[in-house]
Structure 1
């Protein structure tokens, strides 16, 4: 991640990484997602997996955040269009991305950023959004535990609540901002 000049260096930068699951469609429409995070004082930059891009309108997200949605790696020598992050939020985090991330696979921009960020010690919060059957796969628990032990803070919905926990994620990010 090569740093770029921030418009206001006193405003912390949050990379919101969206994977391919329905909650990614709520990034702008849910008041606790991008709008709430911005109201809390974050400069929000959205990156997503190739599957995650299908769930959102990159042009609308770009207008709302002031930064392009990044999906692909930049070309060698091409400047980074995003400022360096102060924290990472992975929302939603899919079964596929949990497993690849835990194994250190960097075959997408999002995974490359996640792997670098985990190694750099940046604060990272995430919410897994995967079918119960996938979460029962034998690889899942070990990989999620590995990420947890490496410092990823997992925020899960309240038991029985079918909604994505945007409010809980926003609160967790506000705690990071206050720290």
Structure 2
């Protein structure tokens, strides 16, 4: 039986590896639906047709209009990675003007298992709102892969997108979905 994974990415350099990660997820038995923040969709604009072909679903970055049919099957789990400073804080505050944040905020209420892995630098995490947001999302049942056993921030300007621990995110998605 195929399970459906909503994979949501924000505009951080690891998002450029999303095709490889989708293939890895598919190899684990997931039917992947890709959602992107507007900036991430802009970054990947030239790749969007190929990503739609890879997933077999439209890549979404905007809400559908009222009355339009839903083009994705229901999610068995949601993975939010890379999750930027903005995405984590907006989500924790319930600011749902962006499609990705709206779906994950609603996903909490629907009881969909959710995994999130930030991608932020060490300067951003000094802002007190970030730690509060991580704690708030954890308290709402989100599996936050941040700190030991997850994403550990780099110094500003020292990003290493090739070292982003995607394997931890996919393993956690498997776990929360009961696999």
Residues 1:147 and 1:178: Cα distance change in structure 2 (over 3 Å): closer
The answer for unaligned runs of 5 or more in structure 1 is: 1-9
Q: TM-score, normalised by structure 1?
A: 0.87
Note if contact 1:89-1:125 (Cα within 8 Å) is conserved in structure 2.
yes
Per the TM alignment, residue 171 of structure 1 is displaced from its structure 2 partner at its CA by 1.5
Deviant stretches of 4+, over 3 Å? 157-162, 176-179
**Which structure has greater helix proportion?**
2
- Distance in 1 (alpha carbons) for counterparts of 2:105 and 2:171: 24
Match of 1:44 among 32, 39, 60: 32
Q: Aligned partners of 1:158, 1:22: CA distance in 2, in Å?
A: 15
Pairwise CA RMSD:
1.7
After TM superposition, give the deviation of residue 178 of structure 1 in Å.
Answer: 4.1
Give the Cα separation in 2 of the matches to 1:178 and 1:123.
Answer: 9
Post-superposition offset of 1:48: 0.9
- Identify the residue that residue 175 of structure 2 maps to in structure 1: 175
- Aligned positions, number: 167
- Cα drift, residue 159 of structure 1: 8.3
Give the direction of change, closer, same or farther, for the CA distance of 1:109–1:59 in structure 2 (3 Å limit).
Answer: same
Residue 18 (structure 2) pairs with residue 24 (structure 1): no
Secondary structure at the counterpart of residue 126 of structure 1: strand
Displacement of 1:53 in angstroms is 0.9
Change (3 A) 1:92 1:63: same
Superposition deviation, residue 12 in structure 1: 1.0
Rounded Cα–Cα distance in structure 2 between residues aligned with 1:173 and 1:119: 18
Shift in Å at residue 174 of structure 1? 2.4
Aligned: 1:86 with 2:86: no
Q: Equivalent residue for 1:3? A: none
Deviation at 1:100, TM superposition (A): 0.6
Instruction: Name which of 57, 81, 84 aligns with 1:67.
Output: 57
Determine the C-alpha separation between the residues in 1 that align with 2:176 and 2:66.
Answer: 33
2:107 corresponds to 1:117: yes
